[in-house]
A and B are shown apart, each in its own frame.
Chain A
């Protein structure tokens, strides 16, 4: 039986430790690092593509990682309906790999930006099964290239299909320009594929699983993994 969370690590991944810590320590589920050279995801029930600077962000964020050997296995896993969570650089990798539509551009400020922000849960997906639509989550962001972009047609399709999963908002849930930290179109912070099993987002739920270090709202996202692992909550 598939029982493990797999954290995919590329050269330059640096959010792998935090992802591992969130699942293995805070959630207490079996978790293993999946090296970018691996081609087989046997035993993996949940795939997490963590944050970082895979391949140094050279060429374009995520552009080289999509060609890593492991990505074929991740693609097949996603196409079979397996749950995949791409966080920050992981989100960028998933868009480059065409597992999610659109692209992440340089922040509107042209600067790296680290802060705690709020997002509103907009639609249901595998990764929002433990939160309600309309919930407001406080999560950290830390990125230089997080401005979500897609053409008008794609944006319209995402909106009408309910594939926009998280939107930046203020503490009260209002979607305002000054609550959008990076200039993302329609304040999009996270999206899903059509199957709702693959989700990418710029904020870091894996860094927000313990109130001691700023907040635990992220825990409500990572706990979704439990259903795939068939572990009693």
Chain B
């Protein structure tokens, strides 16, 4: 043990870095001595849920992560799948919920910055961003402020970087009031042999830091996410983003990675220099010694502790062969940045932090990573959730037949269904000129890959109301819907990334949700044959002991063999409208029940994963064959809303008869079900589609035909397109 270390851990000081008494006892046992203050801070960050996955690591082995297309599964900065022709797609989703709750603009902006760094650290050029946002209801001024500024922050950062934001979702429910969810996903492209891993190697190699100088911003960011009420106690920890600097860092990093001089690269995210150094060393099975005195600062008088735990943004750690230093430095300077050598790789497996001559930390790297305790907590479903699910939805009074069209217009203008244009028009979605299907046009975004015939489709989804009522079923729905949305544009889902946003896992009700949702993701991924290649966890999403809806956000990426053969929601006059897939709509967990009766109740729609797989395959095949160019899945608001949206986007009406599989008017119009996709086809192709559906074992039901300037449902009075559009467009006003 180093002599220079000063032991001065006050009793209970570990609780300030969110370590339990038992965890501190474990640290004492591992070290055989008291930790130094710097070491304690490092343990606090590395053993946080954010870095250490204490509650989720035991659940992860359930998730399928393999497949012939998988080039990199979980465990790196991001996952990667092959898309053929020697190219790979790299992607990941990550949360920035707690910072966004405190300072929404910067919280959301730095969330984008973090996920983009994860992608280019892999050697991939970022080509698209998506996001999944959840807020409390907009009649509350604070929620409206959070919504406006989160959207502003996402746009502010992504637009400046020049990466298009091509897709996403926004959902409102009171459970998110004061605790918004901000999940950002980034997709990059790289040649298969250009993928870089953050695995340090080569004893004597230099550890370099490039990008921003280090300040006091973001101290304890990783641990503060594990405290119930971050806003009350941690105002000062918010990081501030500088997308201009990140753009330079992006270009410099990609050039550095092709130079051959860089052995490993790791971005500085949560727990800053601490986690990047430890993770790099730990993955490579080597040690690292760094000197905080060599770290460029933006503030005077920073301690070793502060330098190690700062979460200043736009920084990157490099491992460089000594002879490559000049080359690296020249590239960094070319991009108007500066670099500093702050340490070197060692062979003893220790992470040693010097402050000049003083040793401030000296701990085996594996203590921070492999020795992080994990927890399997008691799980018990909350009785009020059971009661909500067992609510008899038939007890709600049905709509009168003549009432349904007016309710449709109301639903179209409701916050969870109305047009997202006021959101996505604040994001640059045309830059890089790859956006084949833009936001608002289809269930997923479609991107071309320049020089290739193929393209990719991507969507991000989660119906968290279903997850609240039944976490296992709801998580299966999230996977199925994300993949269905990709399939509706013609993309074959290759893999997913997930972001597990949950409440406190130390409560049995919280752990029950987490445990069951992970199982649901695993079950759906196996059935649909899509591996999980990356992900992120955000727990303790609660305000005043009230958790958010369990929200396992699923981002899916799929491949189109021919990007010109894709589908959107747009239909043309004179086409036949067909519903593919079984149709047994229910009110349980529906948007209608929530909006109209203010009830989150009932059994959510069942999900037959085999039927789901069949309908997705059928629709993809029909799109690939050029028969179907119009497809849209039935989701929030049921079949009437789905048809209305298609009519609005197309500027063409329709005359349809809704399936009479249910008696109730409300369920017939607005009931929800999974695995159902509406397609429009030329009348001459209808029989072929019917035959293909029969062959595939997929139910086929003709709903009607397109045309006219209004939407006529069940032979009623036509609702003018203009009325539908006006309702849909002004939901946020």
Contacts and interface: CB of A to CB of B under 8 A. Distances in A.
Which 9 A-B residue pairings sit nearest by Cβ, starting from the closest? A14-B162, A56-B244, A142-B428, A140-B430, A53-B160, A114-B428, A12-B244, A207-B433, A112-B426
Interface of A: 11-12, 14-15, 17-18, 21-22, 25, 51-53, 55-58, 111-116, 140, 142, 144, 204, 206-207, 209-210, 212-214
B247 A53 contact: yes
Contacts of B245: 56
Contact of A57 (B160, B424, B432): B160
Contact of B429 (A17, A114, A209): A114
A56 B162 contact: no
A178 to B, nearest CB: 13
Contacts of A58: 244
B436 A11 contact: no
B244 A115 contact: no
Nearest to B430: A140
A11 B247 CA distance: 8
Interface string B408-431: 000000000000000011111111
16 contacts: A11-B335, A21-B433, A22-B433, A53-B243, A112-B159, A114-B427, A114-B430, A115-B425, A142-B430, A207-B433, A212-B436, A212-B564, A213-B434, A213-B435, A213-B448, A214-B435
Q: Helix, strand, loop or mixed for chain A's interface? A: mixed
A17 B335 contact: no
A214 to B, nearest CB: 7
B578 interface: no
Nearest to B247: A12
Given A56-B160, A144-B159, 20 more contacts: A11-B244, A12-B160, A14-B247, A15-B431, A18-B431, A21-B450, A52-B162, A53-B243, A55-B244, A56-B242, A56-B244, A57-B244, A111-B152, A112-B428, A114-B159, A114-B426, A114-B427, A206-B433, A213-B448, A214-B430
Nearest to B161: A14
B248 interface: yes
B714 interface: no
B563 interface: yes
Contacts of A210: 433
Contacts, number: 88
B710 interface: no
Contacts of A25: 450
Nearest to A56: B244
Contacts of B160: 12, 14, 53, 56-57
B426 A212 contact: no
Interface string B151-168: 010011001111000000
Given A25-B450, A57-B160, A114 B247 contact: no
Nearest to B160: A53
Given A53-B244, A58-B244, A142 B431 contact: yes
Interface string B421-460: 0001111111111111010000000001010000000000
A209 B434 CA distance: 11
- Tell me which of B156, B242, B244, B436 has the highest count of chain A C-beta atoms within 10 A of its own C-beta: B244
- Tell me which of A18, A58, A212, A214 has the highest count of chain B C-beta atoms within 10 A of its own C-beta: A212
- Tell me which of B431, B432, B434, B448 has the highest count of chain A C-beta atoms within 10 A of its own C-beta: B431
- Tell me which of B247, B428, B563 has the highest count of chain A C-beta atoms within 10 A of its own C-beta: B428
A148 B480 CA distance: 47
Nearest to B428: A142
